[in-house]
């Protein structure tokens, strides 16, 4: 059997992950298995939960704080690679308490997102 | 486009190994994708079959992250408080990010940390980094003060003159006093 055409044993329901319709609304049992398998896989990738911290930070942010950062040349050059800007890394340097954690990437102001 | 993040934390050093941190980036990407990339699916199934469920090695997590990055046209990886990452994991984390960045030039890394960690960033990411000093702008500080003053329950203790004085003087002394002034103000207010 060529493994590339058979990504997973269908008996576990994981084969659905490779279909174009991952949630099979006609088959509840498959859905539950699928969700559990996916949760197990995600936890296997890492036990860390950065999204929990992220949502906490987001909830404590005051709107408008850190606007200067999103307009800074350093930020824009890095984000858009303007003028052959070749550095992939932007390092925000600052002492504790200056607000590094609370800077954020603003999707609304990103022109590359349609 | 995808934005994934990591928050390094002194308090979580035991769990924040390089493998777990790289894995956490992969996890966020996979979570956002409708379809789990086949390489990741297969690696997971292999690991499941092994007795005791073997943990991931750093080199494997790098490959899995690359598999998760492939379907996304542009990914921003944000790592907060890199100085809180334990030394023993720092070099592995940055070396892995360098490998990934070399293979996918479209990736953008945003790292924050105290100034002293800059040398490590430049050592392990030899392509170099654009540095941006972060300090609250006086607008930020004013806005923050307004918010805090607005939350003041004991309005009798505040006179318009004192309020104006606070809003004028504190932003002028930024950034040095910022860290000290805010908690000090709060403490004073609470008495």
User: Which pLDDT tens digit goes with each residue over A1-33?
Assistant: 444 444 444 434 333 333 344 444 444 555 566
Q: Which of B80, B129, B81 is nearest to B101 (CA)?
A: B129
Does residue A53 lie in a domain region? no
| Mean pLDDT confidence for A82-106 | 72
CA–CA separation, B43 and B22 (whole Å): 15
Give every strand in the sheet of B2-7, ordered side by side. Answer: B2-7, B75-80, B108-113, A89-93, B129-133
Q: What pLDDT does residue A82 have? A: 67
Does residue A21 lie in a domain region? yes
Instruction: Give residues 150 to 169 of B whose Cβ lies within 8 Å of A.
Output: none
Q: What pLDDT does residue A97 have? A: 64
Cβ neighbours of A77 (radius 10 Å): 16
Contact flag A92-B23 (C-beta cutoff 8 Å): no
Contact flag B64-A45 (C-beta cutoff 8 Å): yes
Does residue A114 lie in a domain region? yes
User: A37 and A84: one domain?
Assistant: no
User: A39 and A71: one domain?
Assistant: no
Q: What pLDDT does residue B14 have? A: 85
CB B159 within 8 A of CB B166: no
Residue B143, pLDDT above cutoff 70: yes
| A35: containing domain | 3-45
Q: Is A108 exposed, middle or buried (0-12, 13-18, 19+ CB in 10 A)?
A: exposed
Residue B180, pLDDT above cutoff 70: no
CA–CA separation, B22 and B27 (whole Å): 9
Beta strand spans in A3-104 (E): 89-93
From residue A86, alpha-carbon distances to A70, B60, B117, B170 in Å are 19, 28, 21, 38
- In this complex, is the C-beta atom of B119 within 8 Å of any C-beta atom belonging to chain A? no
Does residue A57 lie in a domain region? no
Peptide linkage before B72 cis (omega within 30 of 0): no
Read off φ and ψ for residue B38, nearest 5 degrees. -55, -35
Residue B190, pLDDT above cutoff 50: no
CA of B115 vs chain A CAs: smallest distance (Å): 5
CA–CA separation, A67 and B53 (whole Å): 46
User: A36 and A68: one domain?
Assistant: no
User: A67 and A114: one domain?
Assistant: yes
**Of the partner residues B22, B35, B134, the one whose CB lies closest to the CB of residue A98:** B134
Name the 3-class secondary structure at B136.
coil
Reported as type and span, the H/E element at residue B133 is strand B129-133
CA–CA separation, A38 and A50 (whole Å): 18
User: A106 and A67: one domain?
Assistant: yes
CA angle, A47 then A53 then A55, to 5°: 125
CA of B158 vs chain A CAs: smallest distance (Å): 23
Residue A113, pLDDT above cutoff 80: no
Does residue A22 lie in a domain region? yes
CA of B174 vs chain A CAs: smallest distance (Å): 10
CA–CA separation, B92 and B31 (whole Å): 24
User: Which pLDDT tens digit goes with each residue over B62-79?
Assistant: 999 999 999 998 899 999
Q: Which residue of A has its CA nearest to B1?
A: A113
User: A97: alpha, beta or left, given left = phi > 0 and alpha = psi -120 to 50?
Assistant: left
- For residues A65 and A114, the model is more confident at A65
- For residues B189 and A105, the model is more confident at A105
Contact flag A98-B135 (C-beta cutoff 8 Å): yes
CB A14 within 8 A of CB A34: yes
Contact flag B110-A105 (C-beta cutoff 8 Å): yes
Does residue A18 lie in a domain region? yes
Residue A112, pLDDT above cutoff 60: no
Beta strand spans in chain A (E): 89-93
The total of structural domains in chain A comes to 2
- For residues A17 and B53, the model is more confident at B53
User: A70 and A111: one domain?
Assistant: yes
Does residue A58 lie in a domain region? no
ipTM over 0.85: no
Q: Which residue of B has its CA nearest to A92?
A: B112
Does residue A50 lie in a domain region? no
């Amino acid at each position: 059997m060529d493994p590339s055409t058979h990504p997973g044993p269908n008996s576990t329901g994981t084969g659905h992950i490779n279909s174009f319709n991952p949630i099979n609304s006609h088959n509840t049992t498959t859905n539950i298995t699928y969700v559990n398998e996916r949760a197990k896989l995600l936890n296997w990738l890492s036990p860390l939960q950065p999204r929990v911290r992220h949502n906490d930070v987001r909830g404590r942010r005051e709107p408008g704080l850190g606007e200067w950062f999103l307009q800074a040349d350093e930020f824009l050059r890095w984000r858009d690679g303007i003028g052959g800007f070749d550095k992939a890394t932007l390092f925000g340097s600052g002492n504790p308490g200056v607000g590094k954690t609370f800077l954020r990437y603003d999707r609304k102001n990103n022109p590359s997102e349609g | 486009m995808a934005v994934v993040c990591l928050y390094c934390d002194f308090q979580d050093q035991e769990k924040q190994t390089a493998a777990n941190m790289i894995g956490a980036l992969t996890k966020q990407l996979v979570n956002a994708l409708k379809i789990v990339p086949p390489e990741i699916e297969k690696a997971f199934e292999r690991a499941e079959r092994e007795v005791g469920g073997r943990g991931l090695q750093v080199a494997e997590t790098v490959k899995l992250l690359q598999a998760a990055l492939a379907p996304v046209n542009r990914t921003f990886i944000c790592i907060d408080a890199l100085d809180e990452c334990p030394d023993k994991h720092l070099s592995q984390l940055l070396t892995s990010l360098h490998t990934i960045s070399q293979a996918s030039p479209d990736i953008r890394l945003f790292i924050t940390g105290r100034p002293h960690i800059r040398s490590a960033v430049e050592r392990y990411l030899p392509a170099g980094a654009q540095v941006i000093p972060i300090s609250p702008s006086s607008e930020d500080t004013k806005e923050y003060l307004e918010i805090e003053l607005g939350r003041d329950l004991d309005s009798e203790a505040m006179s318009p003159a004192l309020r104006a004085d606070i809003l004028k003087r504190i932003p002028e002394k930024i950034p040095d006093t910022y860290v000290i002034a805010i908690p000090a103000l709060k403490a004073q207010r609470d008495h």
